Chains A and B, each alone.
Chain A
Amino acid sequence: MKTRNKRLAIAGGVVLVIAAAAALILNAFQSNLVFFFSPTQIESKEAPVNRTFRLGGLVVAGSVKRTGVAVDFMVTDTAKSVPVHFEGILPDLFKEGKGVVAQGKLQDGVFVAKEVLAKHDENYMPPEAAEALKNAAISNQKTAASVVTSK
């Protein structure tokens, strides 16, 4: 083979590998990105049905009920709350009134979690949960303000 053709073949091979990898990556990306939604967004039907997403907020005090391996609790962003169903062992730092992030799907108004995450520091708030609380606080203020102005 001539040097020129050889070079071309090698360059072609490299391009092929990279193109294949890019196709794979984009495909995997499309189907595996996990978006985050707050209880308020779920309430207003912004969250997708039949697609995995993350939910964050605070575990409502007194809402945790265990039945065997299954556990049900409510997650709130202080404005709205969503019921969560989970089967399995909760992380060590899962506590009522503390921040939590759950990953799963919405089924008939109940968030069925595949995974529940709580971080290993008692004062640590998962950023997603913190964000949900902040947004809810802002919208609470706005509603309060609009109530005041409408009077």
Chain B
Amino acid sequence: MIPEIGHFLLWLAMGVSLALGVVPMWGAARGRNDFMVLARPLSYGLFVLISLASVCLMFSFVTNDFSVLYVASNSNTHLPLLYQIAGFWGGHEGSLLLWVQMLVVWMIAVALFSRHLPIEVLSRILAVMGLVTVGFLLFMLLTSNPFDRLFPTPLDGRDLNPLLQDPGMAFHPPTLYMGYVGFCVAFSFAIAALIGGNLDATWARWTRPWTTVAWMFLTVGIAMGSWWAYYELGWGGWWFWDPVENASLMPWFLGTALIHSLAVTEKRGSFKNWTVLLAILAFSFSLLGTFLVRSGVLSSVHAFATDPRRGLFILAFLTIVIGASFTLFAWRAPKVGLGARFALFSKETALLSNNVLFMVATAVVLLGTLYPLLLDALGMGKISVGPPYFDAVFLPLMVPTIFLMGVGPLARWKETSVPDLASRLKWAAGVTVVCAVLTGWLAGSIKLLSTVGLLMAYWIFSAVATDLWERVRPDGKGFAEIRRKAGLMPRALVGMMVAHIGVAMFCLGVTMVNTYQMERDVKMNVGDNTTVNGYVFTFKGVQDAKGPNYDATVGGVDVTRNGKLVVELKPEKRVYRIQQNPMTEAAIAPGLTGDLYVSLGEEVEGGAWIIRVYVKPFIMWVWGGCLVMAFGGFLAVTDRRYRRKTGVAV
């Protein structure tokens, strides 16, 4: 009964979203207030309907209702409760429902927190979001209904893929989707402004916090996924240039570009066209990502079962959304105007270069991801584009980006003098070189690539420090003056500095781990030891253990340094009882300056095991840096300017 209710709620939601997409839009076009006021109540209704449908699916999971095909394919009576709940988005159908759920969360947030917007603008924004919802609901109902029944009802389910049975499953997909879908808000704002023809600095100020929040979620979501892959896949990497990872990285690049471009549009009124285009592109790439992941055209750990109808539907949807928005853009954009002028050397130019570089980065990823697909579709052979391609292209692209990241914040709007900039940054440059060489020397070897990476990291640190010092310089008035000036700094500015520090931490982590990591696969008998980077790893043998729904072989590895025990690691090899898949669970001792990582390979003759031993210096900084970036975003959206606007009618 519950699944039928859920199914019915989805159809009901379909009707409501159609109404939301049409009625307020019509009202805004004709200036009919009675139509426009419907936008908010319809959004609330849509939110309630979709949420109830989600509750129905959740209920079917928790009560082990295996008459529902989706539950039977992704759950099992022996599955721990956390994973029964997370099983909701363990497959294609449920993750689509999660997509729509996130969309209506954003929708209701817009409806609640944008009361100060003129009614036509709000109506158009919510209507555009309603139309997007129509597309996704149609897709779900026509090709991938999570409430489809299964007859005869099996006694038990097929279980959730063992790879997904991890606490990461509870947090990574919802966070990532929240970010992905969040760009729909910026998109809807842009479309609404294009239709209404009121693109201006106010529009940019409205859009900024929404974009930043979406970007925050996306940053954290990607970092979580990367961390999860690091400890779950058992081979110690943190980024694989897997097509699905790329699918989330492209909207991130565009979102980052959008944040910077919005800053120019709000402060100076320039780049309006460009900003609108970026807002459209960021969401289009979110959709493209969904298409790549859900259609099964790509083979990757994330790809779900293939159904050509699904791929076709999303492709059609993608074409309609992108085609319609670009047509609208081409038609309306010439009216938008170019905005204020600026000199060749100015903050505007620095930010414009940032945008160009991020666009190129997106294009690089897109090419590497789609080229194999294209070649395959044309019957020109199967190829794969691997990490070497991305590595070779990304480093040269990131060097100018990072350089400008140091210069940009110190440059002045409109026009800036190059000699002045150079003299302000000379100390930063000196400190950068000294620190980079010193770090390389301390780590044991100075290599060209690692030095470039370290230079980039320290450049950002010291440029941010310079920026900060210039703003809080006491001018001989002592510490109280520093405090007073620091207190005057707007939150948004502090947020930017913090986010840039996050990038520096990320660069440092990536450089250190790529240059100085030690990896070794060794055959070990009980009692054998191996030494990696001063750590002695001693294999103590294996024991059997039982988990709630798996049998495990637990290895014991003692790590000592200078004769003192550092940590006892317990890597596992699990076999999940239902699907009988083996799974490697690495044991990791995380640390601020490096991780110790041990995973079990396979048993060989005479009780010996192949064991993988890694020392990964500073790898936590990779994800730590992402969290700091997101925290910077958080600081920026809590800026007084935005808080004052909410809740107060304009």
Q: Which residues of A contact B (CB under 8 A)?
A: 1, 3, 6, 9-10, 13-14, 17-18, 20-21, 24-25, 27-29, 31-36, 54, 66, 68-69, 87-90, 92-93, 103, 119-122, 126-128, 131
Contacts and interface: CB of A to CB of B under 8 A. Distances in A.
B648 interface: no
Contacts of B383: 33-36
Contacts of B357: 17
A77 B60 CA distance: 43
Contacts of A119: 299, 301
A33 B367 CA distance: 12
A72 B475 CA distance: 72
Nearest to B367: A25
Contacts of B381: 35-36
A13 B348 CA distance: 14
B602 interface: yes
Contacts of A24: 392-393, 396-397
B384 A28 contact: no
Given A29-B389, A89-B612, A14 B356 contact: yes
Main secondary structure of the interface of B (DSSP, over half): mixed
Contacts of B446: none
Given A24-B393, A35-B381, A126 B299 contact: yes
Contacts of B299: 119, 126-127
A122 B581 contact: yes
A144 to B, nearest CB: 25
Contact of A122 (B235, B301, B353, B580): B580
B564 interface: no
B344 A6 contact: yes
A36 B360 contact: no
B583 A92 contact: yes
- Interface range on chain B: under 10, 10 to 19, 20 to 34, or 35 or more? 35 or more
B352 A10 contact: yes
A131 B382 contact: yes
Given A69-B610, A87-B521, 20 more contacts: A1-B343, A9-B344, A10-B344, A17-B357, A21-B397, A27-B392, A31-B388, A32-B392, A35-B382, A36-B381, A69-B521, A89-B601, A89-B610, A90-B601, A92-B582, A92-B584, A103-B386, A119-B299, A126-B299, A127-B382
Contacts of B641: none
B604 interface: yes
A131 to B, nearest CB: 6
B117 interface: no
Contacts of A127: 299, 382
A17 B341 CA distance: 22
A68 B610 CA distance: 8
Contacts of A28: 388-389, 392-393
A89 B602 contact: yes
Given A24-B392, A28-B389, A32-B385, A93 B582 contact: yes
B549 interface: no
A32 B341 contact: no
Contacts of A27: 392
Interface string B347-362: 0010011001100100
B163 interface: yes
15 contacts: A10-B352, A14-B356, A21-B360, A25-B367, A25-B393, A28-B389, A32-B392, A34-B385, A36-B381, A89-B521, A89-B599, A93-B581, A119-B299, A120-B581, A126-B299
B245 to A, nearest CB: 15
B414 interface: no
B604 A66 contact: yes
Contacts of A10: 344, 349, 352
A122 B352 CA distance: 49
Nearest 10 interchain pairs by C-beta: A89-B601, A28-B392, A32-B389, A36-B382, A32-B388, A92-B582, A21-B360, A88-B521, A68-B523, A34-B384
Interface in B572-613: 579-584, 599, 601-602, 604-605, 610, 612
A137 to B, nearest CB: 17
B277 to A, nearest CB: 15
Contacts of A13: 353
A17 B356 contact: yes
Nearest to A92: B582
A90 B610 CA distance: 10
A16 to B, nearest CB: 10
Task: Count chain A CB atoms within 10 A of each CB in B163, B356, B382 and give the residue with the most.
Answer: B382
A40 B301 CA distance: 28
A21 B398 CA distance: 11
B433 interface: no
A75 to B, nearest CB: 16
